[in-house]
Chain A
Amino acid sequence: MKRSAIALFSLLAAMLVFAVVGSLPVLAADEVVVLVMSGPEAETLRHVAARYEKDTSRSVKIMELGRQVQRNLLTQNLMAKSSDIDLGYTSTMEVPAFQAAGVVEPLEAYMGDPKMTDPSFNQKDFLVWYKIKGKSYALPFYVSTHYLFYRKDLIKTPAQTWDEFFKVARDFTRNHNAKSPTTYGTAFTGLIGVEPTKVFASLAFTYDGDIIDEDGTVLLDSPNSIKAAQLFERMRDEKLVTPEILSQGFSEVQAALLNGQAAMGAPYWSAAWGMLNEQQREKIGIAEIPGVKMADGSIRRHAFVQSMALVMNAASTRKQAAWQFLSYLGGKTGAEINADDGGLPPLKSIVLDPKRQAKNHEYALAAKVLQTARTVQATTIYTAIQESFNSAFANLMTGKTDAKGALTEAAKAVRAAQKR
């Protein structure tokens, strides 16, 4: 009996330990919880949170997770109306779907209240700001746009137009020039998933094409968009681009540039610049993405721009505290910490500051690029657009179809998604 009593007692004790010790509250009642994707932005948010806690004695908990886990959990928490998180990191491209589901909080009511808002927060100072139906649902804190990256130790002047770009790319492709120090002329982030649509947007905008307009008209198969997609076709046919393009993400393009596989990376993310060390920056240069020469001699370019942003959970029970941290992040101190970390905060007072520009020459370029940069029209079917375009892009780059055929199919799929 003694043995069985001990065993039963152990079982109950173990369950009790799980139930009691394992369930102790892990957060202070007013602690703001921010769900962040690991990476440089998470690092910056940690630094800002540490300073915020020091300055205000309020608590912020940064919960950092890997790319896919964070995306899934953010969606899950928001859609389940869970109050376990207060703020979530996302791209501004994802916000419309959350807004349509009514799971993110509009920020206007908080922004208008000086008692809740950091005194240095000034919405007019933002270079980019995103609204859906006249309301703000996300605070952009990290701008991400496309540049042309090039091996400045090999290429003296970066290409200004796509025609020049092709000429340079051919010169640096070993198939066309046996003496080329690099294997391929160019690389870009063609990784199937979230990348191809954004890369295409930079090309399409430049050719006066688009993906979808504000009325919801699908423009993927418009003549100008097709003209833009023909650039991909040319890269494919002339074998100017790295062959593993469909699996080439951010880090692979960076590696290709650094290890001599590619002479240029375009369109390629601005964030890559912040990740290069001084030694690497001596080898790699950045410039505006190439454009199209106009009749008056000017060059039309519109790089795609998105922002990494924080959204406020509509089910949060600490909204006021969450906004206090948000406004601090979007205010002077938050943006300065962000800039000191090598990030690109969306504030004019930082990006246009001559001292900052002298310290980080990316800021002068960013200021120029952001003047004409554009984003894809906010839409709740962005995921469907991405899926359709991914398939079109894969077919195009693997030679199964031409630019026109690929975009016609993609547009058809997007229109079907709209009807659903």
Chain B
Amino acid sequence: MKKLDRRDIKTGDIAVSFHGVTKTFEQWQRSGGIKNTLQNLIRPQKKTIAALDDVSFTINRGEFTAYAGPNGAGKSTTIKLICGMLLPLQGEISVLGMSPAKNRIALMKKVGVMFGNRTELWWDHPVLQSFEWKREVWDIPKEQYKRTLDRLVELLDIQDILHTFARELSLGQRMKADLTMTLLHAPELILLDEPTIGLDVLAKRQMISFLKELNQEKETTILVTSHDMDDLEQMARRIIMVESGHVAFDGSFSSLRAVTGSKCKISLELLTDASPEFEGAALLSREGRRFEYEFDMGRTSMSAVLSQIGAVEGVMNVEIKKAPIEDVIAGLYVEWKKQ
């Protein structure tokens, strides 16, 4: 897939820059047989996997960017490279004007990282104790800490859990507390790895609206990864998609729909049992007198389809749905697998 120019994305100072970054890992290869086991004893067989292969991109300050891709595409590796937890094999990485490998300590004062499946909270202490710990370790001035904490407690509505032990929190409460902890030092760049994982609808909605507000009000740069594409579309304006270590797409969500073909679904409720045929649309399913069609807006215009529907007798109801971004991405993943 061709990469797009990001002319619709505002430019400014660069927060994250990857230039020709390559990161490989080795995987042990075993068949399990006795002969293979003996062979491995003398000469272990290893396969080199390119988590990132000559990857280049930049993220400007104030951008809210989604970073997506199928399992094993290199998403978490990218976050770890940005934090300096991993070093690249080749290429240059600059984060907030610093090299993560050389300036890890200074950088970590300006970056907030949250892994959805891990916690930074102290398990056997009240949530507030974890925040106090963060204040001391990050050396946050008391006044700034108090101001930020008050604001975050109000925005994330966590007043009730401040004195609760971390181990007694529900997942949603734990994620909110973890997010608060991530933001206490007012980071300039926030890296979120699966921040909505396991959250219920309400908690997810609160989390997303809070992050959007933070990005808009404070112009904080946010890079978020998730497998939930609908969440990503709600949060971010730009999406970078990685696949097999390469950037497969970089642009806005609307551009992504345009590139992948804008699939649209139309549901019809008829008075008759016969299913009508429309040029440029395919019948997906039928349930009684309810028929669902799919067509590609890039090939057949909406008005052309609607005029065909207008010609059909006995139409009781028409419902038009844009394909969820999940479907768009799933189609892409299937396409990539085939290649």
Verify that A and B bind, or say they do not: no
Task: Give the A-binding residues of B (Cβ under 8 A).
Answer: none
